[in-house]
């Protein structure tokens, strides 16, 4: 389900804002399509084709321990298999069918931008704040990367973002049956994309709960009934997914590490002393790849990996003249304590410069997001004393979504204290919250003249640097 024209704010953005939003969308879509076109389907963090292949071979959802990625909920794999079946029936060869399956995450990434735009336009924000936040979303390097990588991540981002938009739309329209039906369907699909996507349930409950408390959006009885109707299908499908897991593996939501490498977990090999308290952005700016000085700082790594290819998937194409260094780097990155660190002298000045620039520019949206979070918790839209009760209800989901994804990654890293657990892709399910809170922060700072001008400059610089970086990767991959 994609946004329709009537989902804009009643007054709509002004002509200049419409032009900016359109330009950001066009360039953002183009960057994702270009990177997807040149990226080999196998250049990914994990093999997400295997569950699709197993489904095609058997016609059934594979067992959780049938392959490394089979533990995931099945929505992405089953829907991809249906698309591959259709393409094959139309005469597509196996390589073409594989690239078509690879195209689905790119499609989901593009649709996420469209729904984010619709969500921002439903919030009561000035054009400046809307354009700033949407530009960040369109040029966010990690989202561009993931739209070109075959995985089940972008469908999860799309599901969470669409759930947020539909929840806001339902409150705006008095909880109409059709809006609740769409919300129920999307919630049910979303919770079957990734474990991290289950955060949509407390997210929806937060907004409906605040609306119930302040008696806005719909009568209280209708709000309670609407929330129940929206969430019950998702809870049912989750129970159906979890029941065989408990029966066969003793856990409702087992991980692949627990299924395949419990002995490794028990041995303690490769475990690291992760720093859950520190935040040292200067270390990632100075060295924009995972390195001894930055890889054990949880928040530094999670934040920096949003803005650059810190665990390189694309840099080997832009810095290809040092294959021995890349081999040594991968050995160090995936090895145990004591493997030699090869240093970063082999990285080109461009990689160091553009990486450090993008990571540094990422501090600006991060600061805006924190300002927006403060405004939601204790400022203008605090649920306890809001200036606008309906807007507070619609925004109540954003802190809950933020807290949910952050708590999820914290628990994951605490349970599995390894560098590979610190993936920004796990917290990008909070994308609608991050972007909405960025808009609230931009709205606050726009009132100060010099801050507004500095924010415009930083946002433009982020867009330009991100575009230059992605185009450089595209050209390098074409040459390769």
Q: pLDDT tens, 457-477?
A: 999 999 999 999 999 999 999
Angstrom distance (rounded) from CA 300 to CA 352? 17
Among 102-111, 129-138, 194-203, 386-395, which is the least confidently predicted range? 386-395
Residues 211-216 have a mean pLDDT of: 94
Residues 6+ apart with CB under 8 A from 462: 135, 136, 139, 358, 361, 362, 364, 365
Confidence of residue 280 (pLDDT cuts 50, 70, 90): very high
Give me the pLDDT at residue 270, please.
Answer: 67
Residue with tokens 């066009």: 26
The per-residue pLDDT for 258 is 85
Q: Would you give the DSSP letter of residue 275?
A: B
Q: Is the pLDDT of residue 8 over 50?
A: no
Asked if residue 5 has pLDDT above 50, the reply is no
The DSSP code sequence of 81-104 is: HHHHHHHHHTT--HHHHHHHHHHH
pLDDT computed for residue 2 by the predictor: 45
pLDDT digits (tens, 9 = 90+) for 403-414: 999 999 999 999
The residue-averaged pLDDT of 352-357 equals 96
Q: What pLDDT does residue 419 have?
A: 80
> Are 208 and 166 in contact, with CB atoms under 8 Å apart?
no
Read off φ and ψ for residue 63, nearest 5 degrees.
-60, 155
Element (H, E) at 324: helix 323-334
Q: Is the pLDDT of residue 273 over 90?
A: no
pLDDT score at 272: 78
49 near 41, Cβ under 8 Å? yes
In this predicted structure, what is the pLDDT of residue 269? 67
Task: Provide the mean pLDDT of the chain.
Answer: 92
Residues 427-450, mean pLDDT to the nearest whole number: 93
How much is the pLDDT for 467? 98
Taking a C-beta distance cutoff of 8 angstroms, is the pair 184, 234 a contact? yes
Predicted local confidence at residue 4, as pLDDT: 43
Q: How high is the pLDDT of residue 268?
A: 65
| Helix (H/G/I), strand (E/B), else coil: 66 | coil
The pTM assigned to this predicted structure is 0.94
Cβ within 8 Å of residue 71, ≥6 positions away: 64, 65, 254, 255, 256, 259
- For the record, the structure tokens of 48 come out as 């997400």
- Which candidate, 167, 195, 194, places its Cα nearest to that of 183? 167
pLDDT the model gives residue 240: 96
If you average pLDDT over residues 50-60, what whole number do you get?
A: 94
- pLDDT of 7 above 50: no
Maximum average pLDDT range among 5-19, 221-235, 267-281, 329-343: 221-235
Q: Check residue 11 and give its pLDDT.
A: 64
Q: Where are the beta strands (DSSP E) in 403-466?
A: none
Residue 366 has pLDDT above 80, yes or no: yes
Other residues' Cβ atoms within 10 Å of the Cβ of residue 442: 30
Q: Measuring CA to CA, how many Å separate 145 from each of 25, 127, 432?
A: 16, 28, 18
Q: 162: pLDDT confidence band, cut at 50, 70 and 90?
A: very high
- The overall longest dimension of the chain from CA atoms, in Å, is 66
């Amino acid at each position: 389900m994609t946004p329709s024209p009537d989902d804009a704010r009643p007054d709509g953005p002004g002509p200049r804002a419409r032009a900016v939003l359109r330009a950001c969308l066009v360039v953002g879509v183009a960057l994702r399509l270009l990177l997807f076109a040149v990226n080999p389907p196998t250049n990914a963090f994990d093999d997400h084709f295997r569950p699709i292949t197993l489904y095609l071979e058997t016609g059934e959802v594979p067992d959780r321990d049938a392959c490394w990625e089979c533990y995931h909920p099945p929505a992405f794999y089953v829907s991809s298999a249906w698309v591959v079946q259709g393409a094959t029936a139309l005469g597509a060869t196996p390589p073409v069918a594989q690239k078509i399956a690879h195209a689905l995450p790119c499609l989901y990434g593009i649709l996420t931008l469209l729904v984010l735009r619709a969500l921002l336009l439903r919030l009561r924000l000035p054009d400046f704040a809307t354009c700033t936040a949407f530009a960040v979303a369109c040029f966010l390097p990690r989202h561009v990367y993931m739209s070109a990588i075959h995985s089940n991540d972008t469908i999860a981002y799309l599901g969470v973002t669409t759930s947020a938009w539909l929840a806001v739309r339902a409150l705006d329209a008095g909880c109409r049956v059709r809006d609740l039906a769409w919300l129920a369907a999307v919630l049910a699909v979303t919770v079957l994309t990734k474990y991290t996507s289950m955060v949509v349930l407390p997210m929806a409950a937060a907004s409906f709960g605040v609306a119930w408390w302040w008696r806005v959006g719909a009568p209280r009885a209708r709000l309670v009934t609407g929330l129940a109707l929206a969430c019950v299908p998702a809870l049912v499908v989750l129970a159906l997914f979890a029941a065989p897991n408990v029966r066969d593996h003793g856990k409702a939501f087992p991980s692949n590490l627990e299924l395949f490498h419990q002995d490794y977990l028990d041995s303690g090999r490769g475990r690291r002393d992760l720093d859950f308290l520190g935040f040292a952005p200067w270390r990632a700016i100075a060295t924009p790849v995972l390195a001894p000085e930055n890889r054990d700082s949880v928040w530094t790594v999670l934040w920096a990996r949003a803005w650059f290819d810190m665990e390189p998937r694309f840099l080997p194409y832009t810095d290809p003249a040092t294959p021995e260094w890349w081999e040594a780097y991968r050995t160090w990155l995936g090895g145990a304590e004591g493997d030699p660190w090869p240093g970063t002298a082999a990285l080109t000045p461009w990689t160091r410069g553009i990486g450090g620039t993008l990571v540094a520019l990422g501090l600006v949206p991060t600061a805006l997001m924190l300002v927006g979070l403060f405004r939601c918790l204790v400022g203008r839209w605090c649920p306890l004393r809001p200036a606008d009760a309906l807007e507070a209800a619609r925004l109540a989901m954003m802190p809950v979504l933020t807290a949910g994804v952050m708590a999820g990654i914290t628990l994951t890293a605490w349970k599995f204290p390894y560098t590979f657990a610190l993936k920004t892709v796990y917290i990008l399910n909070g994308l609608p919250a991050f972007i909405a809170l960025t808009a609230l922060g931009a709205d606050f700072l726009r009132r100060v003249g010099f801050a507004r001008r500095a924010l415009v400059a930083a946002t433009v610089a982020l867009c330009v640097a991100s575009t230059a970086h992605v185009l450089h990767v595209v050209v390098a991959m074409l040459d390769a």
